[in-house]
Amino acid sequence: MFSTKYSPFYIITFSFIIILIVPFLLQDGMFMDGEQYACVAQNLANGKGSFWLPIVNDTWIMQNSPYFLEHPPLFYNLESFVFRVFGNSMYSERLFCLLMAFANAYVIHRIWKLITLKDETAKHLSWLPVLLWIIIPVCFWVFQHNMIEMLLSVFTLLSMLFSLSALLKPKFIFLNLIVSGLFIFAAFLTKGLPGLFPLATIPLFYVITKNITLKQTLLYTLIITSIPIVCYFLIVTLNNDAKQCLHFYFNERLLNRVYTTGTTNYRLSILVDLLVELLLPVLLTLAIITYARKKTNSVAIQKNDKLYALLFLSLGFCGSLPLMATMVQKNFYFVASLPFFALGLAFISHHNISQLINLLSIKSLKKVKIIAYAFLIITILFSLSQIGKTRRDSEKLNDIKYLGGYLKNTTTVSVDNDAYFDWSFQFYIYRKYAINLDPRNRHRTYIITKTDTSQRLLKDYRKIDLPLKQFKLYKQK
């Protein structure tokens, strides 16, 4: 693909992935959830916890369980492999984030190639859906912050890829369906029920394209659906730890989400968030179409493109709108649905893009290639310049550096409630220095406080003089 006139656009798309993700991964500081997941993965790599019963740290208690069971455990276990290879470096989880970004981009590329295999022009535009996907703000945000949704997105895309392979290729139909079902189960083991939406692929393909019969639709859907169901019941029947893990997820986590107060008072807020996040790729698509129609004798969208655009957009809504079932709604929850929106928009606009590229002269293409390589070099240099910098929580991380240096031979310290429930502080100090915070035992050698703790609690302690901004450290007299 790099020997064609489309190669500069692949380079530009690659550069966008780099510039939107890598500079942030090379800086210290991370969203609380991502740091928490890194703690769990690090522990698994170091032999603490197990596949089904992972742990955050030695003092963690949630819903009367010492294990971290808020999500099914596949994400942390896969991430633990980078820790096994690269150790406890700050960059271990960040490397995993970058690998997930490229994995998503590659599967989007493969889906496009699969559908456009017989179209000599369109098949060279697999960079277009990748570009429309990566410029979505919440999309590149999850890769900056080690969020579970980045792996969930890989599995849902892979399920879609193998479902389409079964539908579009005459060979290995049932093998492709089985593999698609296995990836749906992997998506479930990553994030739970939000990973099941690719089950809608075959029915939607039937309704929209009519390229398969109703009998085939029912049979194929039955096969794909039966795979995760059988896998689930086999696992919970044969493995008590798996049963405990998934029972906690369904009863303490999922049902609690249905009845909890939630993060919003407006059930449609997730739809509003979705429309806001999609604004940039939608506007770019409209701009491409409008400009192409001015510059060329642009024709209407071809029927096949319309059908695939509708298929992917429908799948995108299947992956996002069910989130309205609960009042716990955050915009990164629908990230796994965003590649499907990007693919849908790409099918709407790719013919116009082709026409505009065909208008470029050889001289203009050379200029575009120079711009592409210059952009790539700038993104790499800018990314490298961010090493050693801090992007968030700078004061907190500075305090943790002094605390970690002073307490380097200490594994557990007492804390007041405010310090313990400052989750990012708890996860940072454990991730970087393996220091556990214990809010229940207030009589350890050291105690860290965040607020003015009662003198009665500190009467047997003396304050340690460290240049701390947000926290205070005391040692027993």
Q: What is the pLDDT of residues 325-346, one digit of tens each?
A: 776 778 889 999 999 999 999 9
Cβ–Cβ < 8 Å for 315, 204? yes
Name the percent of the chain lying above pLDDT 70: 96
Average pLDDT score over the chain: 92
Spatial separation of the C-alpha atoms in residues 34 and 393, rounded to whole Å = 14
Phi then psi for residue 463, to 5 deg, are -75, 135
The whole-number average pLDDT for the span 364-382 is 95
Q: For position 332, what pLDDT does the model report?
A: 86
Spatial separation of the C-alpha atoms in residues 14 and 108, rounded to whole Å = 13
Which residues face 415 on adjacent strands?
448
Q: Tens digits of per-residue pLDDT, 432-476?
A: 999 999 988 878 899 999 877 666 778 889 999 999 999 999 999
Spatial separation of the C-alpha atoms in residues 264 and 10, rounded to whole Å = 40
Cβ–Cβ < 8 Å for 90, 146? no
In this structure, what token pair is assigned to residue 460?
């047997």
In this structure, what token pair is assigned to residue 255?
């049902």
- DSSP code of residue 321: G
H helices within 321-361, ranges in order? 338-358
- DSSP code of residue 440: S
Q: For position 3, what pLDDT does the model report?
A: 53
Q: Is pLDDT of 248 > 70?
A: yes
Dihedral angle over CA of 421, 44, 100, 395, nearest 10? 30
Q: For position 263, what pLDDT does the model report?
A: 65
Q: For position 253, what pLDDT does the model report?
A: 79
The whole-number average pLDDT for the span 210-239 is 96
H helices within 116-239, ranges in order? 127-134, 137-144, 149-168, 173-191, 201-209, 214-238
Comparing CA positions, the residue from 147, 162, 148 lying closest to residue 107 is: 162
Q: For position 157, what pLDDT does the model report?
A: 98
Phi then psi for residue 253, to 5 deg, are -100, -60
| 3-state SS record for 266-311 | CCCHHHHHHHHHCHHHHHHHHHHHHHHHHHCCCCCCCHHHHHHHHH
Spatial separation of the C-alpha atoms in residues 402 and 25, rounded to whole Å = 23
In this structure, what token pair is assigned to residue 115?
């559908």
Lowest mean pLDDT among 185-189, 358-362, 378-382: 358-362
Q: Tens digits of per-residue pLDDT, 196-207?
A: 999 999 999 999
Question: CA neighbours within 13 Å on the CB side: how many for 79?
Answer: 33
Q: For position 1, what pLDDT does the model report?
A: 46
Q: Is pLDDT of 278 > 80?
A: yes
For every residue of 412-454, DSSP letters joined together read EEEE-HHHHT-HHHHHHHHHHH--EEESS---SSEEEESS---
Q: For position 261, what pLDDT does the model report?
A: 56
Name the percent of the chain lying above pLDDT 90: 75
Which residues face 475 on adjacent strands?
446, 462
Q: For position 432, what pLDDT does the model report?
A: 94
Lowest mean pLDDT among 53-62, 256-265, 355-364, 387-396: 256-265
Of the pLDDT bands very low, low, confident and very high (cuts 50, 70, 90), residue 2 is very low
Comparing CA positions, the residue from 423, 270, 432, 279 lying closest to residue 345 is: 279
